[in-house]
Structure 1
Amino acid sequence: MLDTSLEQASVPNARPLEDMFDGERFHSDLYTDPGIFDLEIERIYHRTWIWVAHESEIPNAGDFKTTHVGRTPVIVTRGKDGAVHVLLNRCRHRGATVCDRNQGNARAFTCPYHAWSYGLDGRLIGVPFEEGYKGILDKKNYPLVSLKVGLYCGLVFASMNEDIEPLEDFLGDAKPWIDLFLRQGGGFPVKVAGAHKFRFTGNWKIQLENTTDGYHFPFVHRTFVDSLPQEMAKGFTAFMREEGPFVRALGNGHSVAVFFPDQVDLSQDDDKPIPPQFEELAAQLSRDYPPERVRWIIRAINGVGFNLNLFPNIGLSAAFLRELKPLAVDRTEIRHMALVMDGGPEEANRARLRIHEKFQGAGGFGSPDDMAAWERVQIGAGARRDDVWIMLNRGLNREARDGEGHLQAHVTDETGMREGYAMWKRMMVQ
């Protein structure tokens, strides 16, 4: 078992883990120490629920996608009976991965090394020249290793921990916000319409913090705001000064940042006029839908007015999913999945995708600017003379509990980040 005191860690004068986060600040070793990173994989990613897919990515029997739990490769499959399985992408013979495609449809998975074959549920179904194993190999004892699977509202989670608490208990008070987020389809279900990914030179927790960080938006994303029509641009910065927007800790490391309170529940008509940029689209939609449905679809185009962080690896943000994968202490992969209305009007879905591309696309305004900021944090964290601490105290002077006991503050405050690090500490200190 790894030593919690980190006596073998790479940083001189390493301190106990319980001293790394004091509720107001954390030590920059959390970004830079490979020993801490290895512990995070073992004690967080291998012991809690990790998001691996949205069910719309594997709608039919035989559909699959490959991803990771921590740094462990897995396959998410839809079995012939419709059940969802999460399997280690590792042949039981010599350990080679049995699938190297991002996604697709298959009847079975065959290892390219010695052609051992496995069913969609992981069963070992074929061993070439089986006489060489006569009397020493029983195929039923060598399936692909299955992970525990949990489903909530189409979100698929997996865990390596057989004793993990039920998924609904882990999600806890984040569940109502998940429900609201997934009701953003204008009356249609939502589905993943595609994804793009990129890697940045920085620690995974830098991105984890970012999802509910309202403080950075008008500075890091100034060029995006400047690209918008004047009235719309005002709306994208007004939350900095208004009292209504808030960030709330939801327990278990989860948090929500509400930037536009009137866009939390898109099924509720706000009676606002159709924005000028959508008037032509609304006229087209009115040929096939009644006025109230047209308004609902138009409201859904930009997505919800909040970002939801589910510890430790998935963000439900506006109109997309953002998955983070920890690759190394200073290397992280991000996958952005655009969401559209499943069965909804093509022209409305096209508008959603164009908005996604403008901000989250590889050539858009948001992702490149965020990545540059995250990498500067990583560089700065490694520049030290004495102990270097990262401040996490914004909003402590105005943080209060809501009617349900959740800590809450202004949307520009760091309440959500403190919630994430409190969960980090709870899981890491044993």
Structure 2
Amino acid sequence: MTPITQNRQENAMNEQTPIALTEGGSLSYGLPAWTYFNQELTQLEYERVILPSWQFVCHVNQLKQPGDFATLDMMRDSVVVMRGKDGELRAFSNVCRHRGAKLLDGEGSCKGRVKCPYHGWSYALDGRLVGVPSEQTFPGMKKADFGLKPVEMEIILGLVFVRLIPGGPSLALMFKDFIELVRPYRIEEMEPVNQLWTGSWNCNWKVAVDNNLENYHVPVGHPGYHRMLDNDLMGEINEHGVAVSESVLRDRLSPVWSERLYQQLAPEVLTDLPEKNRRTWLFFSMAPNIGIDIYPDSMDIFQILPKSAETCLMRFPVFSRPDARREAKLLRYLNARINRQVGHEDRDLSERVQMGLRSNGYEPGPLSDYEHAIRDFHDRLRAACPVVTLPEAPSPGSLAARNTAMLTEQAAA
């Protein structure tokens, strides 16, 4: 693969020559405004886009001992990943097979069994049903038929992902050669820095994803990044919807103390990394809703999940290589301070977009070549949910049926 550093454009937007991604110089446009505030569409996207995609749960180093578990909660589904007594990690639907009660919350450890808080059905760490109170009142029931439902799982560089509707490419295939960019950061050695942060943004999940997929807004929307980093506004994306851009610490120091100190310390302190990687921040996105940000000192995962038509759930775990030195702790503090501000900026920008989308007469504007990953994301949405190509929302109650009809028409064409 051609190194991204060889493709990096000049930092300032007015000095860059965009790579032409549109055919014949014609403009491309985003999705109609109605697609960002329609609850029926949000339900359809959850079923046809989120459930068949890989979703992040945890790092393997959060689950070191038998019985250790971590959960992922989404709109209607909950998944638990647990280490068995044999040392293997397994993923299950986090639902009791009796009456559907949710079994576990957050992360923690079960000693020996998972016990349902409702009626006390209990499961071995490998998912087998092993205990049923008043079992004699279930004539003919075979416990072997009622183990926890397994969920597809894959681990890449120590990161644990699940997919509720199986099939499609593996994570290894999706990331392909990009994995080699990541290896020097030794992600598989990392540990959680603090508790998983979750929060709600007042915007449709696609608004937040659109924001995460492009660097066009960085010089204006993230002045801190613009001061301290030479940012690759274009980046590159592969055929599986995995995109990456590379930013490098500027030689010119930022006037802001936290940014300036990070610029100075990272190349000097993090001598366990190759010299190039001490200065390089990698920003990955993975279709349809995950960002993976890899820094010299740490990494974070930015997971955007639909919640309602105009709200989304954010999961934001942070990990780092174990390093108890004072200077390493200071770098992690500086990074958190810098990126906390970036997170506030992204939330404000996304919520401003959500408010503007309802403006009378608004029509989607053209997409820049810097926004090519948004085009890829929207094309994937159009393929899974062709109803989003309609200029107006279908009448209430008819959206799912209309989408099915359009899929049938496409298949017959």
Paired letter, 2:356: G
2: CA distance, partners of 1:278 / 1:235: 7
Q: Which residue of 2 aligns with 1:202?
A: 203
Paired letter, 2:209: L
Q: Which residue of 1 aligns with 2:13?
A: none
1: CA distance, partners of 2:33 / 2:120: 46
Distance 1:259 1:246, change over 3 A: farther
Distance 1:329 1:245, change over 3 A: closer
Q: 1:381 and 2:382 equivalent?
A: no
Structure 2 contact 63–83 (Cα < 8 Å) conserved: yes
Structure 1 contact 197–336 (Cα < 8 Å) conserved: yes
2: CA distance, partners of 1:85 / 1:32: 36
Structure-to-structure mapping, 1:98-113, within 5 angstroms: 98-100=103-105, 102-107=106-111, 108-113=113-118
Query: Structure 1 residue runs of 4+, over 4 Å off?
Result: 275-283, 297-302
Residues 95-149 of structure 1, C-alpha deviations (whole Å, 9 max, x = no match)? 110112x11111322111111111222211111121212x321111111211111
Q: 1:366 and 2:366 equivalent?
A: no
2: CA distance, partners of 1:145 / 1:366: 39
2: CA distance, partners of 1:359 / 1:57: 25
Q: Which moved more, 1:77-86 or 1:308-317?
A: 77-86
2: CA distance, partners of 1:377 / 1:120: 45
Distance 1:300 1:192, change over 3 A: farther
Q: Which residue of 1 aligns with 2:401?
A: none
Residues 253-307 of structure 1, C-alpha deviations (whole Å, 9 max, x = no match)? 22222233999xxxxxxxxxxx876778988x6xxxxxxx7273887667x4221
1:357 to 327, 332, 336: 336
Paired letter, 1:375: E
Deviation of 1:175 (Å): 3.1
Q: 1:85 and 2:56 equivalent?
A: no
Structure 2 contact 48–385 (Cα < 8 Å) conserved: yes
Structure 1 contact 53–156 (Cα < 8 Å) conserved: yes
TM normalised by structure 2 equals 0.75
TM normalised by structure 1 equals 0.72
Aligned residues: 347
SS in 2 for 1:95: coil
Paired letter, 2:305: K
Q: Which residue of 2 aligns with 1:229?
A: none
2: CA distance, partners of 1:419 / 1:280: 37
Q: Could you list the runs of 5+ residues in structure 2 that have no partner in the other structure?
A: 1-26, 252-259, 387-406, 408-413
Q: 1:157 and 2:161 equivalent?
A: yes
Structure-to-structure mapping, 1:155-304, within 5 angstroms: 155-169=159-173, 171=174, 174-185=175-186, 189-194=189-194, 195-222=196-223, 224=224, 234-236=227-229, 238-239=230-231, 246-260=234-248, 294=271, 296=273, 304=280
Distance 1:339 1:262, change over 3 A: farther
2: CA distance, partners of 1:81 / 1:383: 57
Q: 1:391 and 2:392 equivalent?
A: no
Tell me how large the CA RMSD over aligned residues is. Answer: 3.0
Q: 1:59 and 2:59 equivalent?
A: no
Q: Which residue of 2 aligns with 1:126?
A: 131
Residues 33-71 of structure 1, C-alpha deviations (whole Å, 9 max, x = no match)? 111111111111222322222222223321111113553
Percent of residue pairs bearing the same amino acid type = 23
2: CA distance, partners of 1:278 / 1:394: 30
Distance 1:278 1:261, change over 3 A: closer
Q: Which has the higher helix share?
A: 2
Structure 1 contact 211–307 (Cα < 8 Å) conserved: no
2: CA distance, partners of 1:295 / 1:136: 61
Distance 1:421 1:197, change over 3 A: same
Q: Which residue of 1 aligns with 2:41?
A: 36
Structure 1 contact 298–348 (Cα < 8 Å) conserved: no
Q: 1:333 and 2:313 equivalent?
A: yes
Paired letter, 1:47: P
Distance 1:350 1:384, change over 3 A: same
Residues 227-270 of structure 1, C-alpha deviations (whole Å, 9 max, x = no match)? xxxxxx6443x54xxxx65321212222222233999xxxxxxx
Structure 1 contact 213–414 (Cα < 8 Å) conserved: yes
Q: Which residue of 2 aligns with 1:309?
A: 285
1:320 to 291, 300, 307: 300
Distance 1:347 1:122, change over 3 A: same
1:144 to 128, 145, 148: 148
Q: Which residue of 2 aligns with 1:4?
A: none
Structure 2 contact 246–281 (Cα < 8 Å) conserved: yes
Residues 323-380 of structure 1, C-alpha deviations (whole Å, 9 max, x = no match)? 22221121111122222113x34334413420232033xxx31212211111111111
Structure 2 contact 37–309 (Cα < 8 Å) conserved: yes
Deviation of 1:382 (Å): 2.0
Q: Which moved more, 1:153-162 or 1:32-41?
A: 153-162
2: CA distance, partners of 1:86 / 1:76: 4
SS in 1 for 2:92: strand
SS in 1 for 2:140: coil
Distance 1:277 1:379, change over 3 A: closer
2: CA distance, partners of 1:162 / 1:282: 42
Paired letter, 1:426: A
Paired letter, 2:300: F
SS in 1 for 2:220: helix
